[in-house]
Structure formats: structure tokens, C-alpha cells
Structure 1
């Protein structure tokens, strides 16, 4: 019986694009058979062009190279950029490609938000980092703070099978539910969210880990507006004596995200949850540590888009070394660049925020259901076909 758990893996934490991009590119350089890549955003910028060069070289060495990009997130990507990939044999798939309406992207909902890379079924990368230069620290004040994990071992083979099934339109080889939890380090599994049989898997994973927490929970998440059940588990964990800390956005790239999150602050703080806002740069992280052994890293925010609409992928891992590494990095953020949110002092302020919070909460939590009930097309996957030889020759001559 496939429980979804794979043992015998090793994990390395990668912080920001500064660590992530060189690791991915080095892995592509060393690939022998196959490169699989999924990303929400791929831009024609220095980061995207560097990745393109590596993928082209891999295809020219005779490797099978398959990439999946999102039609909304990667909409600015030029035809010339894609043609350079397709022209050497890279199989480029676009999730839900749609034309702009009066210059605007209109297909906002049900995005392919995953960030996955697998090399030769042996090495994989999972996290929240896109392929764009705003994930590099040197980008400046708007550089995103984020994490990914590099995985060596059997779990990579399962992630690769999942990615192949996606582009082939086949049933996804992912078990539902966490099942019996492993007791040894090096165990991990892929947890996904889709709009079919895995609609609640990532949210259930968080609730299961919260219920099992004994002493400490540390969550860093960019867009925080979870449903009532997850909020209740956070509060219950704090009330039974677990130290629960949330690291959220203080300098958001989307101000509505911070406004929505603050509607929940009083309820959580009154329950004993500690809330910190990261104020140095936009926070883009989607990670958590539970006690000293469990970790999750991935693409899923804790908001209505990620928990109810988007296609997401996280790994949940039992590994003390990875837990320690991630905890140290997030602890450093809290100490150096975060502000602890105090309990609201004025009763009138708390009452006013409570009533506004109730309205905003119900609107945002019901919004995905409203969107889902509207007549809508079924998102499709489209493979970009190579240009005819004649067209290529004409382009060269011009």
C-alpha cells in the first residue's frame, strides 16, 4: 500500500534565489537523462535567461527537458524566449494560456502556483521561489524573502512521477491524507492541492501537525488568511501550552494581504499566539516547523487563493537537521528584522476591528466558493509546438 511516505532522503535548506538558482543550475548541468521543471513565474530577465541557457544546453546534450509555466504568472514571457527553448527540443507546456483583454490579464483564478524541479528522478527542489530576479537579495528593498528545499532520495522519484502525470493529463500518483506518521528522520512526502481529489490536503496537513505539536510551532507565511478550522487549531495549540509563533508580512507587495491578516490578530493574540511582522523586505515564505522534527516547505500560502483555488505543492518532512536549519533562519529574521505585534490596548479599537474583521473574513472566505459557482472554462494545459522549418529559416534570414 502506498502511504505516500518515502524514507532515506536527505534535505538541504536553500534561502532566497541567491542559494536556490545556483543549486538548480548546477543540478541541470550535471543531469544525465531528464530535467522536469514547474514554476508559476518565469521572466525574461537575468535569472530567466540564465535558466534558459542551462535548459537549452541540456536539450542540446540530448536530455529530455520538460517545463510547465503558468499562463497568468508567466504571461509577460516573450514568444522569442519560448521559441528558443522549443527550437532545441524543450517541451514547453503552459497552464491556462489566455489572451489579454484590453492589455490586462483576466484569468486570475485557479492558477498553477507550484515550484518544482526534478533531475533524473534522484534530485529535486521544492519551495516558493520563482525564476525572477526579485528573489535575489541584491534586487533591493523589494527583494522577496523565501525558502526552498533540495531533496536527494526516493521522494524525488515520486515528485517526478507527479510532474509527468500532470503534463500527460493522467491520474496523479499522490496518496490522500498523511496516514501513519513515520518516526525516523529522512522521511518525507509530497502534499498537493488541486481542484479534484486533493482540494483540502495541504490545509489538513497543517491541522494535523498543529494537533500533534507538543511544545513549539513556528510558521512563516506570506499571505495569511486561513479558514476557521485552521485558526481554531492555532488557538487551541497555544491554549494548551504550545508556543505558537507566526511570522507574517510587515512590508507586503500586496497591501490588501496585510490588511486581511490584521483582522485576525486580536483573536490569535488573545489565545496566546505570538505574531511577528517581517519589515525588512516583502516576505514570500511558505514554511513551518512543528516541534524539533517536522517541517513543511512549499508553494502554498495560508489564504483563500492557495487553500481553495490554486494548484499548490508542499513537502512535509520529518528531519531534525532540516528543522534546525529552518528554525535558525526564521529565528534570525525575528530577532533582526521583525516587530512583535502587541495586544490591542483600546477596547473601542478592538471592537471596531472585530466587526470589520467579521465582514472581511466572511467575504474573503466565501469568495472562492462564489468564484467556483460562476460559469467558467476548465483550465487547460497547452504544449507549445515548434515553428515549422520554413518559418525558422525566414526568421534567421530576416
Structure 2
């Protein structure tokens, strides 16, 4: 069973855990940049180590590197005044994806967010994963954390970098065109749309090159790649022979993905899930729990991570077998990611990479996870079960409002 037809064999991919490993690698690449930096993130927070990334962007722009930053209108919003002035003075170009406006999230179309975390430097190196520009020991809503956030990213070189760069170019020029049209600068808007179309064509050509072997960049959008990431997960789980390990922050899989996990467990594959054990957001925390019952009954192991917030969106399948498969990215296994948001995951078929990721996940489950026993799940207090069902119903209602099936 082929794992993914887009895989190509010309890549070098390195796993990075947490901002403590990602940020120094990002800063090193930005400080060596010669021509351009493209950066997209959901959250850009300047507290603590997040400032080191901002300072690297500022330094690059001051020495003449074309520096483009896109942040999400919900995750980040407008930049702090001081940093906005510093970026403008240095020449860092900043765009805000889908600003909320006066009605905020009351408009369902505003639920489509830029959730991917991508950075391309000089068209040669890509950083992709689930890690925002956010200090490991700081949370905007909860303050200081006692332990670092659990999350991953990758540093990659190879043909997938061009696809990421062209995709980011396409979004940048579309946003530029929208801004020009709002300001009634129609000639500039048409020029920006032509640039976006050219970027899309280039991305299509890159995506079709190379044999199906080692690594690929999977993108999810609301036009042409609506289910690409979910299908990759289902394909890998469906082909699993020995083991599936998934770490996911906001876990509410749809029917097809749930069935893939259940079937894997029933045919003897050891399926382990490392999920959020600390309360972060009402909807994501409680809406996940009603799906636990069937999984536990089929023999799926569920481990809840408690020392800090689990923010990872990674998986590894048959890491010690003949066909190892792993993915690291921004996509949660919930309807917000799989149906609405722009997401990006890197898929890798490499024994050493898969074994490295597996070791870190197993260590987290053994040392920092609390296994959910079926009896403990069934014995949840009535109040918690009510909240779980309310959150689940609200999530289903939100999907109905968007017209999506999941």
C-alpha cells in the first residue's frame, strides 16, 4: 500500500522539539539570510524568547533582506505599537490574515484561520510545525508555565522548500490584491492577482516533480486541498502493521478517521494517543471526551499529558518496521483544522527520523502522561459528563452553521 504519492527522495529533515530548539535554529537561519525571509504564524508573541525571533527579522530587514511576515488576525491581531514601529523602521513587511472587524467571530467566514507555521529562508530551508512564536514557558491566557509546552517542528531542505515558498508567495499576493482593492487601487490589485496566479502555477509544477519516496509537504486549504492532510493520516493508519502513535492537542476526529483507528486496533496494531490533559479551552477540552469511549473499548490507549500544555500535532506509524511513516505539522485532528483552517504538515518516511520522534513520544507518555483507564473514563463525575456533551453538541452545531460534514 503506497503511503503517499507526493513523497520525493531529495530531502534532509531534522526534528526540533519546542521553542528551545526551534528558535535558535530560526535565528541562525535568519541571521545568515542573503535575499529573503517568508514567515507565517498563527501567534506571534514578543514575550521572552519570542523577542529573539522578532529581533532576527529586524536585523535581516535592516541589512536589506526582503522580509515578509504574515500573522493571523485571531491568533495575533495587531502587533504591539512598539514592535510595529520597529518593524516598519527596519523594513519588515507585515500583513494580518483575515482581521476580525467589528463583528469578530460572529461571522462564520471568519472561522477560517491561518493556522500553519511556515518559514522559508532564501528559498533553501524550510521550518514547519506546530510551534508558534511563543515562549515555551509563557501562555498569553494562563501566564507563566511551570513546565515547557510540548510541541514539535522540523527544519527541512529539498524540493518541498520551493512548494512552501510558492504557496506563501501566493497568499502574500492575494492579501496584497485585497488590500489594493479595498483602497481602490485597481491596477495594483490586478498586478497582485497575476502574481498570485503565477505562484500557484509554480507550486503546481513543483508538487508534481520527483518520485514517491521520502518526504513531502502537505497543505490544507479551502479550495484545492481540502482533505489532503486527513487522507494522509488515514492512509498511514490503514497501512499500519505494528504501531500507531499520535500526539495531538485538540483531538476530535471525524467518523472516517475514528474508524481507521478502531480498525487498526482491532486487527492487532498497538494504537497509542497522547492528548491534552490540562484544561486550556472549554470547547476543545470537553468536546474531545465523548469520542474516547469507543476508542478505549477497542483497545486504543489514551494517555493525557499533564505537566504543561500539549500543543503537538505529530504522528508516527511503524517506526521500527519496514515502512516507517511520520508527520509533524500544524494540523490538529479536529474540525477546525481539518475543515476550516490553512494548515501545513511535513510527512517523512525515514527510519532514523521516525525512531527519534517515537522515542520522544514514548518518553512523554511514560514520564509525563496519565493513562486513561476505561473504568476511570466511565466513572467521570456527572457534571463533567454534562459539560462534555454540551461542548460536543456546540461543536456539531458550529459545523452545521458552516455547512460542513465531518
CA gap 1:180/1:259 in 2 versus in 1, 3 angstroms: farther
Is the Cα contact below 8 Å between 1:135 and 1:146 reproduced in 2?
no
Query: Number of matched residues?
Result: 366
Partner Cα separation in structure 2 for residue 66 and residue 251 of structure 1: 35
Per-residue deviation, 1:339: 1.0
Partner Cα separation in structure 1 for residue 25 and residue 377 of structure 2: 50
Partner Cα separation in structure 2 for residue 204 and residue 362 of structure 1: 25
* Structure 1 gap segments, 5+ residues each: 374-398
Partner Cα separation in structure 1 for residue 219 and residue 70 of structure 2: 16
Partner Cα separation in structure 2 for residue 195 and residue 226 of structure 1: 18
2:226 to 199, 204, 207: 199
Is the Cα contact below 8 Å between 2:9 and 2:210 reproduced in 1?
no
Tell me which residue corresponds to 2:122.
120
Q: 1:245-304 CA deviation, whole Å, 9 max, x = no partner? A: 000011132243232222111100111211111111111000000112111111111111
Tell me which residue corresponds to 2:268.
241
Partner Cα separation in structure 1 for residue 338 and residue 264 of structure 2: 21
Is the Cα contact below 8 Å between 2:250 and 2:275 reproduced in 1?
yes
The 3-state SS of whatever aligns with 1:46 is: coil
CA gap 1:344/1:119 in 2 versus in 1, 3 angstroms: same
CA gap 1:175/1:221 in 2 versus in 1, 3 angstroms: farther
Per-residue deviation, 1:17: 0.6
Tell me which residue corresponds to 1:380.
none
Tell me which residue corresponds to 2:290.
263
CA gap 1:310/1:346 in 2 versus in 1, 3 angstroms: closer
Is the Cα contact below 8 Å between 1:6 and 1:188 reproduced in 2?
yes
Tell me which residue corresponds to 1:389.
none
CA gap 1:367/1:174 in 2 versus in 1, 3 angstroms: farther
Is the Cα contact below 8 Å between 1:226 and 1:302 reproduced in 2?
yes
TM-score, normalisation: structure 1: 0.83
Does 2:210 correspond to 1:208?
Answer: no
Partner Cα separation in structure 2 for residue 182 and residue 136 of structure 1: 42
More helix by share: 2
Is the Cα contact below 8 Å between 1:289 and 1:323 reproduced in 2?
yes
Per-residue deviation, 1:106: 6.1
Tell me which residue corresponds to 2:247.
220
Q: 1:98-148 CA deviation, whole Å, 9 max, x = no partner? A: 3466xx876761111110111112111111111122457995336421111
**Match runs of 1:92-107 below 5 Å:** 92-99=94-101
1:50 to 29, 47, 52: 52
Tell me which residue corresponds to 2:186.
none
Per-residue deviation, 1:316: 1.2
Tell me which residue corresponds to 2:154.
149
Question: What is the alpha-carbon root mean square deviation over aligned residues?
Answer: 3.2
Using the TM superposition, name which of 346-355 and 289-298 deviates more.
346-355
Per-residue deviation, 1:158: 1.8
1:367 to 389, 393, 398: 398
